[in-house]
Structure 1
Amino acid sequence: MPRWLPPLRGHHGLILGVANAHSIAWGIAQRCAIQGARLVLTCLNAKARAQVQPLADAIGAPLLECDVREPGALAATVARAAELLEGRLDFAVHSIAWAPLQELHGRVIDTSAEGYAQAMQVSCHSFAELARCCEPHWPADGATLLTVSYQGAVEAVPHYGLMGPVKAALESMVRYMALELGPRQVRVHALSPGPMPTRAASGLTDFDGLMADARRRAPLRRLVTLAEVGDAAAFLLGPGAAGMSGQTLYVDGGLHAVG
């Protein structure tokens, strides 16, 4: 029998948005590294680096700082990542979401135009910008782009507020990018994990109640783990998902199926 090889062996990838050991981006990075990928990671700034650098060191990945709100920052980060990865990006993961706190805790109808635009730029449009920046570095046989969504994109989740419409736009972006980039054999996906105790989620009102409700209603009667989310991401990024594009994959213990 042929010797088993890690599915992502020989793949080079950029993973944006590692915040700490509990972040979804880190769960994805860990599992991609285990499956053989060479990675470059990003964190927001020097303050975040203190928590993320030991994680990056543990998997032998260079760590860059990138705040997508800064003009030119994303382009510079992608260029540097490609340089560190021998000029090739087989995949890129976008795990970035942000909205001004006062907008996040208010009603959608009270959202300011400025706050909405900021949330859209960071959480949605930066995914399109990431694709544009990565395009010169895609190998001839294709690449994969992955972003992170949430059930609030397709149904109104209490206290999720402004991020619901933003994530809905992000999932629509996935479909249009899949259509446009498909002729280049570039696949585009969203991963939609169930509620998890991440740093980003801690900014939501009553997130503990949301997690408790997920445990109660999900068919598996539990929350999913970072490793499970990471494995699903690694599958989408690898050769096993070569015939898939333009979809949102749920990793939520079946919660999305029961409404």
Structure 2
Amino acid sequence: MIDNTGKNALLFGVRNDSSIVWAIALKLIESNCKVALSVDHDNVAVVQTMVKDLPIEVFACDIRKDDEVKELFDAIGQKWQQIDYMLHGVAYGNHKVMCTSPPGVKEAPPEFIDIPFDDFMDSFNISAFSLMRICKMGRSLLTEQASILTLTYHASQKVFPGYAGMAISKAALENMVKYLAFYFGKSAIRVNALSAGLVMTTSAGGIKGVRKLRKMTRNSAPLGNITSEDVANGALYYFSDLSKGNTGNLHYIDGGLNVMAVATNQNE
């Protein structure tokens, strides 16, 4: 078992108990790591209920806003002398960015080429540029040999029509990981990305055809579908001394789907 006694982790992106970030938080607690969560204002009440019996602190923060992110790190600095691990698990795109209308939204979505600029930039700010923002605002607290991790999705590399504009943000996010890995290398701080397969989170529920995609993975990926715990186990590797030699990685945890060219139905 990985022992993170004396380590501090700040995680961004919990919405509810189906969130991958929540599974990672629980895995870190098991490893004796101290955990703090940055949560969007709309989800604070839900997350505070989730953590009531756990040694986890919750901070409200709009990750789009420099002043709120600065206030967050100021508050963290009052409690911890350093941050050893930081997870960016934030992503958002409305139906105009995803080019599909989820249940309850009557407005027809645009075609991909008609994605509104302002909606896309809001999605880009939350889903991609916010990684740069938290790295910039939090770098004074990052200890030498700290580990920064973000969550991405294979739609950055291949066409998933139900993901549309979000895929652009994920591609940008992955490129930022490479440049941040270079930037932080002089401080021995590593920056990596986990490309998770589809887990039935609240966010995944907004992807058009998500159940068909899950079925495709079950039938085609060498290991079938994954769980949030699979992703959490991968995150724990990066949130430990075992990954000291790894930076700039795009690490797939998708049952092997990314290596497949065609559906095989091997697991039916």
Same fold? TM cut 0.5: yes
TM-score, normalising length from structure 2?
0.89
2:96 to 89, 94, 102: 102
User: Is contact 1:189-1:245 (8 Å) kept?
Assistant: yes
SS in 1 for 2:10: strand
TM-superposed deviation, 1:211: 1.3
Which secondary structure does the structure 2 equivalent of 1:72 belong to? Answer: helix
- Once the two structures are TM-superposed, the CA of residue 186 in structure 1 deviates from its matched residue by 0.7
Q: Does residue 9 in structure 1 map to residue 5 in structure 2?
A: yes
In structure 1, give the amino acid aligned to 2:136: R
Q: Which runs of structure 2 are paired with 1:230-249 in the superposition (5 Å)? A: 230-249=232-251
Deviating 4+ runs (over 6 angstroms): none
**Corresponding position of 1:51:** 46
2:20 is equivalent to residue 24 of structure 1: yes
Is contact 1:7–1:239 with CA below 8 Å preserved after alignment? Answer: no
* Partner of residue 104, structure 2: none
Q: Which amino acid aligns with 2:35?
A: L
Q: In structure 1, what residue type is equivalent to 2:69?
A: L
What's 1:208 paired with? 211
Deviation at 1:58, TM superposition (A): 3.5
Residue 101 of structure 1: how far off its partner (Å): 2.2
CA–CA distance in structure 2, aligned partners of residues 168 and 110 of structure 1: 19
Q: How many residues align?
A: 251
- Find the counterpart in structure 1 of residue 266 from structure 2: none
Q: TM-score, normalised by structure 1?
A: 0.92
Deviation track 1:144-185 (CA, whole Å, cap 9, x = no partner) reads 111100010111113110111110000000000001110111
1:184-207, Cα deviation, whole Å (9 max, x unpaired): 111001111101111111122121
Alpha carbon RMSD of aligned pairs, Å? 1.4
In 2, are the aligned partners of 1:44 and 1:66 still within 8 Å (CA)? yes
Q: 8 Å contact 2:145–2:244 — kept in the other structure? A: no
What pairs up with 1:89-168 in 2 under 5 angstroms?
Answer: 89-105=83-99, 106-139=110-143, 141-168=144-171
What's 1:82 paired with?
A: 77
Q: Who is 1:61 aligned against?
A: 56
| Percent identity of paired positions between Structure 1 and Structure 2 | 26
Structure 1 residue ranges without an equivalent (≥5): none
Shift of 1:80: 1.4
The letter of the residue matching 1:94 is H
Matched residue SS, 1:131: helix
Q: Helix, strand or coil for the counterpart of 1:243? A: coil
CA distance, structure 2, for counterparts of residue 59 and residue 189 of structure 1 = 27
Offset of residue 71 of structure 1: 4.1
Asked if the contact 2:16/2:46 (under 8 Å) is kept, the reply is yes
Q: Is the 8 A contact 2:2 2:240 kept in 1?
A: no
Distance 1:70 1:129 in 2: 9
Distance 2:36 2:98 in 1: 30
Equivalent position amino acid for 2:156 in 1: A
**Which segment is superposed worse, 65-74 or 109-118?**
65-74
Matched, 1:185 2:168: no
Q: Which residue of 1 aligns with 2:265?
A: none
Query: How far apart are the structure 2 equivalents of 1:204 and 1:78?
Result: 32
